[in-house]
């Protein structure tokens, strides 16, 4: 449910794994193009999609008889979409989130929004998260991910459904940790991109990535996540990929800010959703509710939403008081 770059790519993965898939596109014209040309030109130009993949703009048609419902819409639109789709969801389907964000206002993780809006227990809700840059996977380059669910049988069912020669899923019962890793890494990637745009070097990038992981782990500890998750694919793996790759929308957004582009101009030039921009606010609010210090996130919220100048943001982080490396856990 969602024909952006990652939704389309994951539909390809399912088909390659032998799992029949229907791709729901919001725009009828896009569904027609995908069916006619085997390509999603707006999001994955040049990638030929499997002949077994069909697209539709009718949610009822897409959801009919599904045993896996994969949700791949922008995080802040999930609640509204599920309002429209709730009555169409097959009652026994496993509901799978590909989204990496925290809802504004409620500070809910995506699995919590799904559970609330679909009336589904946590055993029927799974999360896919890892170092999964869509274009590389669409080209069938090797990658791994985490299929997380509190029900191990459901996690293994999802694992089998998307396991291909180039895409290797591992199971994990820690849904909270996997979702936090996926959401917070977008905020840290904005900071890394900003540093790159300012011309700062590898030491700065490594520092931001490492301290960003520490922020994520502190928040995870407060919310009951398993700390080992943050050393795995859904934690460190996803963080490194998103902070290092020019394919990362969040890093690219930050780079443009670091080069001196005005926030409004960066937003205007960005075609696809950059989850970290909005989710940074809800990540910070979630941290404040639990008394967790997240200085990189706090500074990025000030840059994104409170007009803090990029140069002052770097100075604020560099001039923080000295602390032990491990604190607040």
Catalytic center residues: 185
Element (H, E) at 118: helix 110-118
Cα radius of gyration (the chain): 19
Q: How far apart are CA 183 and CA 216, in angstroms?
A: 9
Tell me the backbone φ, ψ of residue 148, rounded to 5 degrees. Answer: -105, 135
**Selection from 159, 163, 143 nearest residue 151 by Cα:** 159
Distance CA 115, CA 132 (A): 24
Alpha helices, H only, 260-305: 263-269, 275-289, 295-305
Residue whose entry in the numeric block shows the structure tokens 């569904």: 31
Angle in degrees, 0-180, between the axes of helices 110-118 and 175-197, rounded to the nearest 10: 130
Strands 125-129 and 94-97: parallel
CB-based contacts of 157: which residues, under 8 Å, 6+ apart?
A: 94
End-to-end CA distance of the chain: 37
């Amino acid at each position: 449910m969602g024909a952006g770059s990652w939704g389309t790519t994951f539909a390809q993965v399912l088909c390659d794994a032998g799992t029949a898939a229907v791709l729901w596109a919001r725009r009828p014209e896009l569904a027609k193009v995908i069916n006619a040309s085997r390509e999603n030109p707006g999001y994955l130009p040049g990638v030929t999609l499997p002949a077994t993949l069909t697209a539709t703009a009718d949610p009822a048609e897409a959801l009919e008889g599904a045993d896996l419902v994969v949700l791949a819409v922008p995080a802040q639109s999930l609640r509204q979409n599920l309002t429209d789709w709730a009555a169409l969801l097959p009652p026994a389907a496993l509901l799978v989130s590909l989204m990496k964000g925290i809802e504004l206002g409620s500070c809910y993780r995506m699995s919590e929004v799904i559970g609330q809006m679909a009336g589904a227990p946590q055993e029927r809700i799974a999360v896919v998260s890892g170092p999964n840059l869509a274009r590389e996977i669409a080209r069938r380059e090797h990658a791994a991910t985490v299929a997380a669910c509190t029900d191990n049988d459901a996690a293994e069912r999802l694992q089998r459904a998307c396991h291909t020669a180039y895409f290797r899923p591992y199971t994990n019962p820690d849904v909270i940790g996997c979702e936090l890793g996926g959401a917070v890494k977008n905020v840290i990637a904005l900071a890394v991109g900003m540093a790159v745009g300012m011309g700062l070097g590898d030491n700065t990038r490594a520092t931001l990535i490492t301290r960003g992981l520490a922020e994520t782990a502190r928040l995870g500890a407060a919310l009951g996540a398993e700390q080992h998750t943050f050393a795995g694919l859904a934690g460190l793996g996803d963080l490194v990929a998103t902070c290092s790759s020019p394919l990362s929308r969040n890093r690219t957004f930050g780079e443009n800010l670091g080069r001196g582009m005005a926030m409004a101009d960066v937003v205007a030039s960005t075609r696809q959703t950059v989850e970290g921009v909005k989710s940074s606010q809800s990540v910070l609010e979630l941290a404040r509710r639990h008394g967790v210090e997240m200085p990189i996130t706090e500074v990025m919220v000030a840059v994104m939403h409170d007009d803090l100048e990029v140069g002052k943001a770097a100075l604020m982080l560099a001039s923080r008081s000295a602390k032990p490396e491990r604190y607040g856990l």
